[in-house]
Amino acid sequence: MLSGAVIGGIAFVFGLAIGSFLNVCILRIPAGKSIVLPASACTKCGTPIKPWDNIPVLSYLILRGKCRKCGTKISPMYPAVEFLTGVLFLLCYLAFGVSLITLKWSIFSALIVVLVFTDIRERILPDLVNFTGFALGLVLSLFTPPSDGMALWLAGRVFAFPPPRPVLSLIDALLGAAFGGGVLWVISEGYFRLRGREGMGLGDVKMMLMAGAFLGLRRTILTILGGSLLGTVIGLAIIIIKRKGTDYELPFGAFLGAASLLVVFFGSPVVEWYASLLRFR
Ligand SMILES: [Zn+2]
């Protein structure tokens, strides 16, 4: 048997490697380029990056953040994304053990990392990521336990016998997706009608459709609340510190993404407290 520390180490290193691939996705998907070919090259001099210079995090440190050929600075985003993905995969293992649930949340973490960084860099939440993620969320729901409990509660009111677990789990996913996408669509549409300009893009709507399929209803509600709070606090701080105007466009998707990950790893006590309130009424 492998010890927990060894499996945790494997999860972290695997996350580093996936993070390296996510960097490629962050750079190329918004530009409509292939994420498979060609191999990575220096953005300045075009020299292909040798495999030994492409080791996650380590290569950046060894090369001191510069291209080996021309000395151009390499963005610290690359090692940051790799390290972050490693930490998230490790957290998934620590929280959910060796299970399909860990696979589900690792995939979700990877999708969110891509969306957070494309949103920060270019204010783009690519359809490819949102819709692929939405489909994955629905499929994974069939193989993992119901994420929410809302479907079970609803089924209890309608059926004498609860439906099989995959059906409940899929209903939870659909409820989360419908609520997440629906609420943001209403806000986006309402803002547009009131102000006559777009305040929130459809990207955020599609992102929450995707996230809702993974999160289920309660965690989707918590994510939207958390994302709005983060956006308000950090957004105001950015506007004040960097002296941007109030028309400065915040990367709302990035705040929603950060909130969704906080909810996945630390939101269970809140969700249980909320469920207990309902139960005692
Ligand atoms: Zn170069």
99 alpha carbon – ligand 1 mean position (Å): 42
26 pLDDT band, cuts 50/70/90, is: very high
64 alpha carbon – ligand 1 mean position (Å): 13
Rounded to whole angstroms, what are the CA distances from 161 to 142, 151, 153, 154? 19, 13, 12, 12
DSSP secondary structure code for residue 51 in this structure: G
Report the chain's mean pLDDT, rounded to a whole number.
Answer: 90
48 alpha carbon – ligand 1 mean position (Å): 9
63 alpha carbon – ligand 1 mean position (Å): 12
62 alpha carbon – ligand 1 mean position (Å): 15
280 pLDDT band, cuts 50/70/90, is: low
71 alpha carbon – ligand 1 mean position (Å): 6
What are the pLDDT digits (tens) for 64-116?
A: 999 998 989 989 999 999 999 999 999 999 999 999 999 999 999 999 999 99
Rounded CA-CA distance 267/233 in Å is: 19
50 alpha carbon – ligand 1 mean position (Å): 12
The model carries a pTM of 0.92
121 alpha carbon – ligand 1 mean position (Å): 21
74 alpha carbon – ligand 1 mean position (Å): 9
69 alpha carbon – ligand 1 mean position (Å): 5
Torsion angle, alpha carbons of 52, 57, 58, 62, to 10: 90
190 alpha carbon – ligand 1 mean position (Å): 47
CA 134, chain centre distance (Å)? 12
| Residue partners of 72: CB distance under 8 A and separation at least 6 | 42, 43, 44, 45, 66
Closest CA to 137 of 199, 52, 39, 216: 216
87 alpha carbon – ligand 1 mean position (Å): 29
73 alpha carbon – ligand 1 mean position (Å): 8
